[in-house]
Chain A
Amino acid sequence: MRSIFKTGATALAAATMLSGVAYADGHGVSGPLRIFSDMSNPAPRAVMEGMVERFTEANPDVEVELVITDREAWKTQIRNVLQSGTADIVNWYAGNRMAPYVDAGLFMDISDLWEEGGLTETLASTQGSMTMDDGIWGVPYTYYQWGVYYREDIFAELGLEAPTTWEEELSNCQAIIDSGRACYTIGTKFLWTAGGWFDYLNMRTNGYDFHMALTAGEVEWTDDRVRATFENWATLIEMGAFIADHQTYSWQEALPFMVNGEAAAYLMGNFAVAPLREAGLSDDQLGFYQFPQIDPSIEPGEDAPTDTFHIAANAENVEAAEAFLLFVASAENQTLINNGDNLGQLPVNANSGVDDDEFLNAGFEMLSQNAGGGIAQFFDRDAPAEMAQVAMQGFQQFMVDPSTLDQVLQILEQARGRIY
């Protein structure tokens, strides 16, 4: 049981931290270490710079050269940087997004580091998403949960409980609709929010492995199993579960529907909590539940986009790079950089402490104990960028008019043939 809840974790955390440092000292790391980071937004940038500062304090012989690139620009630059051998460490994402660089031999396999550094214990929840072709290709430093954020007060008023099965989900939703509200708010203007719905419906209908095969281009979009996913989706759409005109709202512009009680819930990442609280919803009014199961025989897979560090295959200072990765993943560092003052997300190390926050605790528990299917990275990270764009456009079209399903699936299948 990898629960973290405060007590007892401190001792473990200290032990892990010490072993991490001992490992680093044992190698007497020194020399220049070149880190290319994409943590360019203000808060992540401060976190990155803080980590370098603390790492250099503990390892005064290492001279870190830190280059922070714009997060979007980095997506096109990483290949150049890795190929030209200018970096020892780079930022990237877990899951299928690693595939191009793993296949091209640009990331270093650090399975040994995971074994020696005890990461297979402490980072077990994300080990799957860092593994590819029997190697482990990096360490994560932060992630956050997705799930359904709902209005507890509206559920209470209607005498509803958070659903755990598809039947409960549908009957709940019908009751909400009968009360004159929409079950879910969503803003699909920028498409990705619809990707979240597809992820969950597909992982619950067909399972995590099928979902991964589909996003990897190994399954036809016209497959009956994909159709089953869309049928479940259509059930919700046709009963009026989603707010009207959602294609005109961004995800933020869809928040007022939930705040004003016109919609009862929102399938979203944990970053939705902060604006909902600011808008005046108390923790008594706001609740969280895991996306309900559809097929009871399927283990739940969860979306938890994970950000990572990798060692370049042609790194010059591998020892210092390994020491830095251990430092990043250590419980102490994880607790610090993911707390409310910094990233405000979930630490990946099971021995870390989580801020005493209803939703962070719920997410941490869900991901470390109840995501047996596996952890997905979100549709636009699991599928190649071009495929994700076409597919999410299709999802939006389908949500606006479910009768176009055949046409949408044809377009997606053609795109699959062209892109993979």
Chain B
Amino acid sequence: MFPRPIEQYNPGARVAYQAVLPVVLLLWLIPLLAVMWFSIKPGEDFTTGNYWGWPENGFQGIANYMTVFTQSAMPQYLWNSVIITVPTMFGAVALSCMTGFALGVYRFKGNLLIFFMFVAGNFVPFQILMVPVRDLTDQMGLYDTRLGLILFHVAFQTGFCTLFMRNFIRALPRALIEAARVEGISEWRIFWFVVLPLMKPAIAALCVLIFTFIWNDFFWAVVLTQSPESQPVTAGITAFNGQYRAMYHLMSAGSIVAAIPPVAMFFLMQKHFIAGLTLGAVK
């Protein structure tokens, strides 16, 4: 069953809960805190073994972040991420609005079959697709280009988005659409003027979700791209590793920078994000 509210437990359990909670919280946050801490420490601290202590020669947070922005390809990587994420977001959401409308509104033979095919795509582990997709991209001349990544992400994300949109449209009152039909409005205009405005909350939620998914994608970024001209920031962070050495401080600073856009997106659009996670689940 649902957990009982903590207030209803006996006092002993409540005290134990309050004592353990901060410890567990800290334990969970240690990796994140470590990255933040390392990102403001000078590089030599990792060679002197001073991982957790106060840096002897002062913090180098500003220098580290300056290095990330001025002496590495980080701005290029960030820009690549934007170029990859935004079109993917629009592409996948636009396509799934249309597929969702078609599958949700029209009754035709094979409707369910097509819908299942979209859904089934979500259940294929993408590691299985790695080799064929890489070969396909290579043969199409799109290997190591941003377009290759965009096209693949749009194709792959549309499955999930369609599931989401179709269920949302199914939940809309059918009477609205039928009323419009009685008025003799063309199907295209029903989609554009009746259904689409009603889908705004779903579109917003989906945009936030897809943005976060794609921005955080590491796997396909590594499989399909390899030069600074096309790699997004998640894959580009490894560029701070030399051939022999790992630059922990710069990698940490880079990770923080790379994490800011999705985190900012989350806080700005928190309402939609949570709606997005639950919307698909209700139906």
Contacts and interface: CB of A to CB of B under 8 A. Distances in A.
B216 interface: no
A279 B242 contact: no
Nearest to A44: B243
Contacts of B73: 42
B239 interface: yes
A260 B44 contact: no
Contacts of A71: 243
B37 to A, nearest CB: 17
B270 interface: no
A271 B44 CA distance: 15
A98 interface: no
Given A40-B226, A69-B226, A70-B226, A280 B245 contact: no
B243 A256 contact: no
Interface stretch (B27-35, B45-53, B98-106, B165-173): B45-53
B226 A271 contact: no
Nearest to A251: B244
Identify whether the interface residues of A are mostly helix, strand, loop, or mixed.
helix
A18 interface: no
Interface residues of A, number: 24
Nearest to B246: A252
A278 B242 contact: no
A1 interface: no
B278 interface: no
B121 interface: no
A44 to B, nearest CB: 7
Contact of B245 (A68, A70, A260, A275): A275
Given A68-B227, A69-B226, A278-B44, A252 B49 contact: no
Contacts of B50: 256
Given A41-B242, A42-B239, A271-B245, A259 B226 contact: no
Contacts of B46: 252, 275
Interface in B213-243: 226-228, 239, 241-243
A41 B243 contact: yes
Interface string A240-254: 000000000000100
A259 B48 contact: yes
Contacts of B246: 252
A276 interface: yes
B53 to A, nearest CB: 12
B43 interface: yes
Nearest to B238: A41
Nearest to A262: B49
B242 A43 contact: yes
A373 B43 CA distance: 38
Interface string B143-158: 0000000000000000
Contacts of A269: 244
A73 to B, nearest CB: 8
B231 to A, nearest CB: 11
A104 interface: no
A256 B248 CA distance: 14
A143 to B, nearest CB: 13
A255 interface: yes
A384 to B, nearest CB: 22
Contact of B48 (A68, A69, A256): A256
A52 to B, nearest CB: 14
A275 B47 contact: yes
A252 B47 contact: yes
Given A40-B226, A276-B47, A280-B48, 10 more contacts: A41-B241, A43-B243, A44-B243, A68-B227, A71-B243, A73-B226, A252-B47, A252-B245, A271-B244, A275-B46
Interface of A: 40-44, 68-71, 73, 252, 255-257, 259-260, 269, 271, 274-276, 278-280
Closest 4 pairs (CB-CB, A-B): A256-B49, A279-B47, A271-B244, A278-B44
